[in-house]
Structure 1
Amino acid sequence: MEGLKKEMHDELLSILEYWTVNCVDEANGGFIGAIDFSENKDFIADKGSVLNARILWAFSAAYPVTGNERHLQLAQRAYEYIAAYFFDKEHGGIFWSVDHQGNPKDTKNQVYALAFVIYGLSEFYAISRHEEALALAKKLYGKIEQYSYDPVNRGYFEAFTRDWQPIDDLRLSDKDANEKKTMNTHLHIVEGYANLYKVWQDEGLKDTIAGLLHTINEHFIDEESGHLRLFFSEDWVEKQDVISYGHDIEAAWLLQWCAEVIGDESLVGIYKKHAVAMADATFEGLDADGGLWYEYEPQEERLIAEKHWWPQSELWIGMVNAWQITGDAKYFDAVQHNWEFVQQYILDKTNGEWIWGVNADYSKIEKDKAGFWKCPYHNSRACLELMSRL
């Protein structure tokens, strides 16, 4: 166990080193918008708010562990860029993207992005005590509650125009269903809110987190299967979709953590039970090589036969958490087996960081090394969590 803990420490430093060396945009400020599979840097690529919020979180969360002043500087750099360029000073939201020079590009308010900025800002405040960062996090929390919360049916709406009007295309990405309420956004709102509560113990925020956890319990978790339900209409009519193994195991531990942050023992009990059931359900997606498949299409009984980088990361935390709850070694064994898979197929031993993933035949998926969705958040968090938990 000590050996694995040491390996997680070394891997954390390796991940952060890649982003430190390769991703700072000296010409335009902030961080480069994209680096492709072949390590080509695109200095004129658009910059995404989610990527920048996750960079902010990763360097902020790592700094107390590494003590590396450069990590603190990069967290500060990420904060300053978000505050200067992604925050919409006119309407109080967050731009989905800006161009390489920081001009607003896609100006919609995707609530998922606001939640991640709150997550990053609160982590940065924890290491810096920068009052303006906390004030911005509180401001974004207020905007989500003002515009996104559904007072009739509960839950949160996905997206709005820049000035908070209804928008036709609510999707996070092209692969998503165009529905008003999604598991992914609710999961990351409660994650962001819980991180904010750690540094701002407001009773109203605590009650909001508890209410959100009850809503997730009621609508998004299928107790029969142990999987998540992903997409819903405004009044909670489900749209059948894929089983997402990565989201299942991420939610398994993360929702329990949110309940623990607010100290609600009833909700902790509920989510510990879910954590084990969802970890058990995730075994359906584990291959013999230890890797976790991406998704399964139940209507067509078809496996989406790819193993992406981020579900492997979440598997580590979710399975270690289930092992901590039950004491059953099968969960810990799954982590060790998966780490061997990641080392063999996902780590980029030449250039650093992790590749996007592999196909069923182990050919590499030739997508971004850095970009809108390829970030240092899932894998650095997995290293940090295992270092803390083991």
Structure 2
Amino acid sequence: MGFERLGRATGTVRATHRVIRERFGSRRSRRSGLVGLPEPQANAERLARILERNILPFWYPGAIDVEHGGYLLHHDQRGNWLGHVPKGIVSQARTLWFFSRLAERSPNPERYLGAAQTGFEFVRDRLWDGTHGGFFWEVESDGSAPLKADKHMYGQAFGLYALCAFAQASGSAQAQALATELVGLLESHARDAAFGGYREFLRRDWSTPSDPVPDYRNNSDPSRKTQDTHLHLLEAYTAYCRLTGDALAKRRLTELVLILASTVQRQHAGVATDVHDAGWRPLPVPAHEQVVYGHELEKIWLLTQASAVVDLAPALLVGCYRSWFSVAHDRAYDRRRGGFFSRGCIGQPAHVRDKLWWVQAEGLLAALQMFVHTGDAHYYAIFCHTLDWIEVQQADWTHGDWHRAIAPSGAVRGNKADAWKTPYHNGRAMIECLVLLGGGTELATDR
């Protein structure tokens, strides 16, 4: 039993496998534009190779902090560890999520549950605020004291996502109870009943800042709402609803689907911008008139997952998905070499043309999800082309994991691991693309 384990668990994924099998039937493939493209099994083997030989060896076991708990996430471009640095909820939770999801998918879960357990214990014992509840933003490297103690909902979202993944993989009642406590705090203190969504930045005791202060994400006004934070709240509530079936959480998740599919959209442009005021009016200043193409792509898979949890028919949002993918493809896709550029102004080609690791990961998963939704070979071709780029260029087969950024010149830059670079984006893309393709390939390390 290999990567197909989770795929067999849901009717949605079984239907996905049926669509792909039908599209690759000999007669149908000749009519549908799939001739000449790799078969699903060939691509599954490529994905598994990247996961097991490129991503996983970089993070396991080397990222496990055997001295202080949690994960060591401070490595240079060549993978050299640069020493202890503070540990934040976002990066620790993302890495905990990765090992938890890997354990859920693996025929040998104990191998990765141990790695997940050390992350869970650090999150529970060091990053959780024992006085007021919720997660600190950042603590000392040994977890001895909080360095940034206020509550940012971006961090709470990733904490919730990781707790749910660990509970799902391990059966931990303690992790589930902590997730339920966190959802209660979010609903009691951060929920905006007037305008919908959540207030994003609160003090350590969950009170509203009395004066405008910068939050931990370079936002000068804590009353603002962002697509980015709400996208990850949607991700976290999806996981929590799957874990518990909680009725209130499902209602909130339905609202988050509406926010991401409609409220944050610039209807004239077919895409969203990130920063809004408390009433969801976009901020009309040049710095906020840019499109982050990775978010437009990431939304497709995350909203597909959320919609399934709240029983929305996939067809209801496929038009939105087509629009977002089309804009990203038209404005930010490298038709010659494959892969997606980073960002650009509304209605203009991408002007930040570095290829970031996380954008390639989200683009790959979005393209395959679009093929599943539509059966259109155009999306499968983009999936294959993007995978070509990742396999040959973005993946660093010498030092491990993926290059953080590749400039148009081909120059690579950036750390391999830090507060923002973890195995979350690219690890998830490999795992979830394998789920969509039907898996069937075991990790070599599990044999």
TM range (shorter): over 0.9
Q: For structure 1, which runs of at least 5 residues remain unmatched after alignment?
A: none
Aligned length in residues: 387
Report the secondary structure of 1:321's partner residue.
helix
Q: Does 2:341 align with 1:293?
A: yes
2:111 counterpart of 1:70: yes
Residue from 193, 196, 199 that aligns with 2:240: 196
Change beyond 3 A, Cα 1:178–1:36: farther
Report the alpha carbon displacement of residue 222 of structure 1 after superposing the two structures with TM: 3.2
- Distance in 1 (CA, whole Å) between partners of 2:410 and 2:300 is 27
Pairwise CA distance, 1:270: 3.0
TM-score w.r.t. length of structure 2: 0.82
What letter corresponds to residue 408 of structure 2 in structure 1? Answer: A
Residue equivalent to 1:306? 354
Q: TM-score, normalised by structure 1?
A: 0.94
State the superposition RMSD in angstroms: 1.9
Which residue matches 1:235? 279
Note the alpha carbon deviations across 1:20-66, whole angstroms, 9 max, x for none: 13211122222114112232313321111111111111111111322
Hey, what's the Cα distance between the residues in 2 that align with 1:384 and 1:260? 19
1:281 is aligned to 2:321: no
Q: Distance in 2 between matches of 1:293 and 1:354?
A: 16
- Note the C-alpha offset of 1:352: 1.0
- Name the amino acid aligned to 2:50: E
| Deviations 1:142-181 (CA, angstroms, capped at 9, x unpaired) | 1111111111111211111211123434545348986610
Q: Is the 8 A contact 1:34 1:43 kept in 2?
A: yes
**8 A contact 1:171–1:179 mirrored in 2:** no
For residue 90 of structure 2, what is the amino acid of its counterpart? V
Distance in 2 of aligned mates of 1:62 and 1:163: 34
CA distance in 1, matches of 2:151, 2:279: 21
| Mapped partners of 2:271, 2:159: distance in 1 | 27
Q: Distance in 2 between matches of 1:329 and 1:299?
A: 26
- Residue 299 to residue 178, structure 1, CA distance change in 2 (3 Å): farther
The counterpart of 1:129, out of the listed 171, 176, 197, is 171
CA distance in 2, matches of 1:198, 1:117: 16
Q: Which residue identity does 2:98 align to in structure 1?
A: A
Q: Alpha carbons of 1:342 and 1:255: their partners in 2 closer, same or farther (altered >3 Å)?
A: same
Q: Paired residue for 2:429?
A: 382
Question: In 2, Cα distance between the equivalents of 1:362 and 1:177?
Answer: 37
Counterpart selection for 1:207 from 251, 266, 273: 251
Q: Does 1:247 align with 2:295?
A: yes
Aligned-partner SS, 1:105: strand
- Find the aligned partners of 2:348 and 2:303 in 1 and give their Cα distance: 30
Residues 79 and 400, structure 2, Cα contact 8 Å, conserved in 1: no
Find the residue that maps to 2:412 and give its secondary structure. Answer: coil
Shift of 1:301: 7.1
- Supply the distance in 2 between the matched residues of 1:302 and 1:210 (Cα, whole angstroms): 32
Unaligned runs of 5+ in 2: 1-39, 438-447
The alpha-carbon distance between structure 1 residues 311 and 301, as it changes in their structure 2 partners (threshold 3 A), is closer
Deviation at 1:235, TM superposition (A): 1.6
Partner of 1:296: helix, strand, or coil? strand
Is 1:56 aligned with 2:96?
yes
Identity of aligned residues (%): 27
Give the C-alpha shift of residue 261 in structure 1: 1.5
